[in-house]
Chains A and B, each alone.
Chain A
Amino acid sequence: MALEIIESCTSCWACEPLCPSKAIYEAKPHFLIDPDKCNECAGDFEDSQCASICPIEGAILNADGLPMNPPGSLTGIPAEKLAA
């Protein structure tokens, strides 16, 4: 059970200091989550911290590969506008 950061990450550093498991690390071209360390904040916080501060929709995936913050959920920008 681990989250994953994908290529849309902008390397803004917001998530890194929040991770209670120190699973997030700086890498090129974007930050990564060590799947062996990540426990999705179980036991520490109600919500996964990285996914709760990440400003980029779709940049963090859950264990099933689905976005923690789906398109439109953070910015409110309608999907058809995003595609354009």
Chain B
Amino acid sequence: MQLPVINKETPVSSASGCAAGSCGSTNDQMNHLPEHIREKVFNHPCYSEEAHHYFARMHVAVAPACNIQCNYCNRKYDCANESRPGVVSELHHPVQAVKKVLAVAATIPQMTVLGIAGPGDPLANPERTFETFRMLSEQAPDIKLCVSTNGLSLPEQVEELSKYNIDHVTITINCIDADVGAKIYPWIFWKNKRIKGREAAEILIAQQQKGLEMLVAKGILVKVNSVMIPGVNDQHLAEVSRMVKAKGAFLHNVMPLISEAEHGTYYGLTGQRGPTPEELQTLQDACEGDMNMMRHCRQCRADAVGLLGEDRGAEFTMDKVEEMEINYPEAMKMRAEVHAAINEELESKRLAKEAKVQLVSIQGSRPKEATRPVLMAVATKGNGVINEHFGHASEFLIYEASSAGARFIGHRKTTPYCEGGDTCGEGESALDVTLRVLAGCEVVLCSKVGYEPWGPLEAAGIQPNGEHAMEAIEDAVLKVYEEMRVAGKLAVKIIEQQKVA
């Protein structure tokens, strides 16, 4: 998603036909990437809110060892932030992992991307990680490979990494200042010693930056992940964003800290809180001026399988995979057909969008009065339309409507109102959770909303709206915004006295 104004230094795809400043409405976040990068990632579910409804990814857990400790991670589980804890992953040997990947790719042809993300650090397990990549490059050349790392041993692995079909590398960079780093990383294992404190952070940061530069020099795409830790690195991440962009990273993904006490992490047990959705968004907005931001990361587990936000891992446990007979060369033909059909649909959607943008820019030539931006929450099951009941939504997509158009800015998870029962844990009802999660939003668009939540939503300053069921999200958001403008609710001076539940 973008406002071209703030990304105007980025070349716009020559095919898009929209000069900077004219197409502020409905672009996907990939559209402002340079064409050669867009081509590499257009069917990568992690890079596009749109693509992730069509293409799937999977992770295989082949990399159990780690060479650092992060304060948001409890090694008794999987890494709490790169892969959410709960059930420990079924660890695979490379041969098993490859079998599983081929089985998934043949069963879910939409699966285009295979990542190795853990549960430890993939590059701290170079033999397992690279053996998996080597076999997949040979046996399944139609699958893109990606890997994420804390960066400590990245510089020494860049040469090996560049040998495979590796689409991009993700480096988790939480800081570029060792004093900040000392509050995040208690130790690293470096040159046969455990090193603690500031010195450890200094080495880690230097390795991450060196690795980033080396990858960029090799022409491998680099995405940077950062965990936002309020009071620790929140003030620092805008600087991180500027630095990694200057060094050539193509995307920055700021993720909220997950720190429930039951995860047993240092942060969880010492009461370090994660950011509120609003704090996260404010920081993402602040970074966006400098960097392409990623807004729809669902923080998948290290062994996730399927479309973003869904996990079909249970269908592909090792005992089930062992029983499947896969003819991959045959599957590859079928996959190619499925991919071609999806690409055609995406392309026609893109063209339709562009046509509409041009129409809007012609019609919209009459200057309107200045209006303030409004956040709207949308309940959707996917396909870009409003097709989910308020009470069934386990997450809401958040859009910002403004005179420049509608832009996707993130997603917020909740407990579905209809499944929540009276209370969930700390005496907070499911509806309370949703009201809290939707703080800052003035409208919630859904296919249907019950009578019961209607009152509390209105009281919290969030207008429920079920009038746009099955309509395209961005069209509906802009229609409602226009209604608000006509009703005089968007004057810049009026500041909503919203009650935050």
Q: How far is the CB of B385 from chain A (nearest CB, A)?
A: 44
| CB atoms of A47 and B76 under 8 A apart | no
Interface 0/1 of B46-78, CB less than 8 Å to A: 000000000000000000111101010001100
The answer to whether the Cβ of A55 comes within 8 Å of any Cβ in the partner chain is yes
Interface 0/1 of A24-41, CB less than 8 Å to B: 000000000000000000
| CB atoms of A82 and B269 under 8 A apart | yes
Majority SS of interface residues in chain A?
loop
Interface size class of B (residues with CB under 8 A): 20 to 34
| CB atoms of A46 and B269 under 8 A apart | no
Question: Who on chain B is nearest to A15 by CB?
Answer: B65
Specify which chain B residues have a CB less than 8 angstroms from the CB of A49 in the assembled complex. 192
Specify which chain A residues have a CB less than 8 angstroms from the CB of B193 in the assembled complex. 46-47, 52
With A12-B65, A47-B192, A55-B69 as known contacts, state yes or no: A76 contacts B75, CB within 8 Å.
no
CB under 8 Å from chain A, chain B span 350-405: none
Specify which chain A residues have a CB less than 8 angstroms from the CB of B266 in the assembled complex. 75-77
Specify which chain B residues have a CB less than 8 angstroms from the CB of A84 in the assembled complex. 269
| CB atoms of A56 and B269 under 8 A apart | no
Interface 0/1 of B192-209, CB less than 8 Å to A: 111000000000000000
With A75-B186, A77-B270 as known contacts, state yes or no: A55 contacts B66, CB within 8 Å.
yes
| CB atoms of A14 and B124 under 8 A apart | yes
| CB atoms of B186 and A14 under 8 A apart | no
Specify which chain A residues have a CB less than 8 angstroms from the CB of B481 in the assembled complex. none
The answer to whether the Cβ of A11 comes within 8 Å of any Cβ in the partner chain is yes
Specify which chain A residues have a CB less than 8 angstroms from the CB of B125 in the assembled complex. 13
Provide the bound-state CA to CA distance between A72 and B304, in Å.
32
Provide the bound-state CA to CA distance between A45 and B192, in Å.
7
The answer to whether the Cβ of B417 comes within 8 Å of any Cβ in the partner chain is no
The answer to whether the Cβ of A10 comes within 8 Å of any Cβ in the partner chain is yes
| CB atoms of A74 and B69 under 8 A apart | yes
Question: Who on chain B is nearest to A14 by CB?
Answer: B65
Q: How far is the CB of A20 from chain B (nearest CB, A)?
A: 10
| CB atoms of A10 and B76 under 8 A apart | yes
Provide the bound-state CA to CA distance between A78 and B270, in Å.
9
Q: How far is the CB of A28 from chain B (nearest CB, A)?
A: 13
With A77-B266, A81-B270, A82-B269 as known contacts, state yes or no: A52 contacts B67, CB within 8 Å.
no
With A14-B124, A81-B270 as known contacts, state yes or no: A75 contacts B69, CB within 8 Å.
yes
Q: How far is the CB of A56 from chain B (nearest CB, A)?
A: 6
Specify which chain B residues have a CB less than 8 angstroms from the CB of A76 in the assembled complex. 71, 186, 266
Specify which chain A residues have a CB less than 8 angstroms from the CB of B75 in the assembled complex. 10, 12, 55-56
Specify which chain B residues have a CB less than 8 angstroms from the CB of A77 in the assembled complex. 266, 269-270
Provide the bound-state CA to CA distance between A47 and B187, in Å.
15
The answer to whether the Cβ of B94 comes within 8 Å of any Cβ in the partner chain is no
| CB atoms of B66 and A12 under 8 A apart | yes
Specify which chain B residues have a CB less than 8 angstroms from the CB of A74 in the assembled complex. 69, 186-187
Q: How far is the CB of A59 from chain B (nearest CB, A)?
A: 10
With A53-B67, A76-B266 as known contacts, state yes or no: A12 contacts B120, CB within 8 Å.
yes
Provide the bound-state CA to CA distance between A17 and B67, in Å.
12
Provide the bound-state CA to CA distance between A8 and B71, in Å.
19
Specify which chain B residues have a CB less than 8 angstroms from the CB of A17 in the assembled complex. 127
The answer to whether the Cβ of B189 comes within 8 Å of any Cβ in the partner chain is yes
Question: Who on chain A is nearest to B120 by CB?
Answer: A12
| CB atoms of A53 and B189 under 8 A apart | yes
Provide the bound-state CA to CA distance between A81 and B269, in Å.
6
Question: Who on chain B is nearest to A75 by CB?
Answer: B266
Provide the bound-state CA to CA distance between A8 and B76, in Å.
9
Interface 0/1 of A43-84, CB less than 8 Å to B: 001110100110110000000000000000011111001101
Provide the bound-state CA to CA distance between A84 and B124, in Å.
32
Specify which chain A residues have a CB less than 8 angstroms from the CB of B91 in the assembled complex. 11
Provide the bound-state CA to CA distance between A46 and B191, in Å.
11
A-B contact pairs, 14 of them (CB 8 A): A11-B64, A11-B91, A13-B64, A14-B67, A14-B124, A46-B192, A49-B192, A53-B65, A55-B75, A56-B75, A74-B69, A74-B187, A75-B266, A76-B266
Residues on A close to B: CB < 8 A? Answer: 10-14, 17-18, 45-47, 49, 52-53, 55-56, 74-78, 81-82, 84
Beyond known contacts A11-B64, A12-B66, A74-B69: 12 more, CB 8 A cutoff:
A12-B75, A14-B65, A14-B124, A17-B127, A47-B194, A52-B194, A55-B69, A76-B186, A76-B266, A77-B269, A77-B270, A81-B270
